Amino acid sequence: TIAKDALRAQPKAELHVHIEGTLEPEMVFELAEKNGIVLDYPDAGTLRQAYNFQDLQSFLNIYYQGVKVLIEADDFFELTYNYLRHAHEDGVVHTEIFFDPQSHTDRGISLAAVFEGINRALAKGQKEFGITSRLIPCFLRHLSAEAAMETLHALLPYRDFFCAVGLDSSEKGNPPSKFSEVFDKARAEGLLTVAHAGEEGPASYIWEALDLLHVARIDHGVGCESDDELCRRLAAEQMPLTVCPLSNIKLAVFDDIKGHNLKRLLDRGLCMTVSSDDPAYFGGYLLDNFIAVQTGLDLTWDEVTELARNSIRASFLSESEKLEWL
C-alpha cells in the first residue's frame, strides 16, 4: 500500500462536495443550541448512529433535517471554514463547493446571508491555507423546474460569486430533461453547468446531461458502465466524472469498495476523479476516499497520481492556474 503521507502530498482538487454535507453532528448540536432549534436526537453520538442509509433518499431525508440548523451568515462561515481546514489537511489545493440555495431560501434564509458567510470563509481559507475555491449552487431536482428557474433569477445578482450551476437531490424520476430550459438560461448567462447523473439513475440520464444540459462534468456518473457507447463517448470527450467512492458504498450504489467501478472505468480511458460528496455523513473526507480506493482496488502510484492530476485538469481553474499544480 501507498503511504498516507504520499497521498496527502499529491496536489488535489475536490470537485464534488456539498457544503451542507460537511455539517458534522457536533456542529449540528452546537448550532441548534445557539439558534434555539429542537432536534429529534438527544446528542451528537445518537445522531451519528442514525447515519445508516439504504439509498440516496434515506440519506437526503436526514441531510435536509441537518440543514435546518444553519440560520445566520456566521453559521455558513463556520461550516465552510471547518471544511476548508479539513480539505487543507488532506492536501486539497483547490475546491469547487456545491450548495443548495433552495434548502435555505425555502426556510426564509436569504441568499445574501448564505453568500456572505460562505465567501468570508473562502477568503479566510485562501489567506490562511492558500486554498482556492469556486462555488456552484445546485437546483433541487425533486422540486419543480419553475422553482429552479426562480432560484436562478434570484442567484443572478450574485453572479460574480459562482462559476457554474449544478443539479442534485433525488435522481430517480427527476431526469436532467426536466431542467433543460433552466440550464439553457444559465448557459446564456455565461455560466458553466454540471449535473449529478448516473448516481442511482440510468445511463440515459447521463446522455441527457450531456446533450440537453451541456455539462462540463458529470457528478458521479458511475451508471455509465452498462452502456458501452456512452463509455466510449465519455472517454473520447474526456468528460470528467466526479466519483465519490465512500458515498457510493454508504448509499449502496455498490456493495463494497472491491466492487466499485472506478478502476474499470479508468482502464477504459475515462477521465476519473475522486471526491467526498458529503463527508460528514459518509465517513471520510477526500484523503479517506483516496485511501479507500487505493487499498480497495489496489491502485498503483501511477493510477493514484492520474486521479489527482485529473482533478486539477477537470477543475474550473484557468489554464495558467492549473499549470501550477500539473
Query: Which positions touch ligand ADE (CB under 6 A)?
Result: 18, 21, 56, 63, 168-169, 196, 199, 247, 277-278
Are the beta carbons of 178 and 209 closer than 8 angstroms?
A: no
72 given a catalytic annotation: no
CA pair distance 195, 165, nearest whole angstrom:
8
d(CA 13, CA 3): 19
Query: Closest CB to ligand ADE belongs to which residue?
Result: 168
Q: Which three cell numbers stand for residue 308?
A: 489527482
Pick between residue 138 and residue 271 the one whose CB is nearest to ligand ADE. 138
Least separation in angstroms between residue 272's CB and Zn ion is 16
Binding-site residues from annotation: 16, 18, 196, 277-278
Check if the beta carbon of residue 67 is closer than 8 Å to that of residue 20. yes
Q: Which three cell numbers stand for residue 294?
A: 487505493
Contact 175, 205 (CB under 8 A): yes
How far apart are alpha carbons 209 and 309 in whole angstroms? 24
Q: How many CB atoms lie within 10 A of CB 228?
A: 11
Which one of the spans 48-56, 123-131, 186-194, 275-283 is the region binding Zn ion (CB under 5 A)? Answer: 275-283
Of 78, 96, 171, 199, the active-site residue reads 199
Q: Which is nearer to Zn ion, 98 or 290 (CB)?
A: 98
Instruction: Mark the binding-site residues for Zn(2+), compressed into ranges.
Output: 16, 18, 196, 277
Q: Which is nearer to Zn ion, 78 or 277 (CB)?
A: 277
The binder of 78, among Zn ion, ligand ADE, none, by C-beta within 5 to 8 A per type, is none
Q: How far is the CB of 4 from ligand ADE (least distance, A)?
A: 25
Q: Which option in ligand ADE, Zn ion, none does residue 56 bind, with CB closer than 5 to 8 A by kind?
A: ligand ADE
**Using CA atoms, how far apart are residues 245 and 261, in angstroms rounded to an integer?**
9
SS3 content of the chain, % helix, strand, coil (to 5): 55, 15, 30
Q: Which lies closer to ligand ADE via its Cβ, residue 56 or residue 308? A: 56
Using the rule CB under 5 A, is 277 a contact of Zn ion?
yes
For residue 15, the partner it binds in Zn ion, ligand ADE, none, with Cβ less than 5 to 8 A by kind, is none
113 φ, ψ (degrees, to nearest 5): -65, -40
- In the bound state with Zn ion, the residue whose beta carbon lies nearer, of 169 and 261, is 169
Q: How far is the CB of 168 from Zn ion (least distance, A)?
A: 6
**32 CB neighbour count, 10 Å cutoff:** 17
Distance of CA 265 to the CA centre of its chain: 20
Cβ at position 242, least distance to Zn ion in Å: 8
Three-state SS at 69: coil
The CB-of-74 to Zn ion minimum distance in angstroms stands at 25
Helix (H, G, I), strand (E, B) or coil at 305: helix
Q: Residue of minimal CB distance from Zn ion?
A: 277
**How far is the C-alpha of 307 from the C-alpha of 55, rounded, in Å?**
26
Closest CA to 213 of 245, 247, 174: 174
Looking at beta carbons only, is 29 or 99 nearer to ligand ADE?
A: 99
Binding-site string for Zn ion from residue 91 to residue 130, where x marks contact by CB under 5 A and - marks none: ----------------------------------------
As annotated, the binding site for substrate includes 278
Structure-derived torsion over alpha carbons of residues 187, 248, 315, 121, reported in degrees to the nearest 10: 90
**Minimum CB distance to ligand ADE, residue 158 (Å):** 20
Binding site for Zn ion (CB under 5 A): 277
Q: Which residues are catalytic?
A: 199
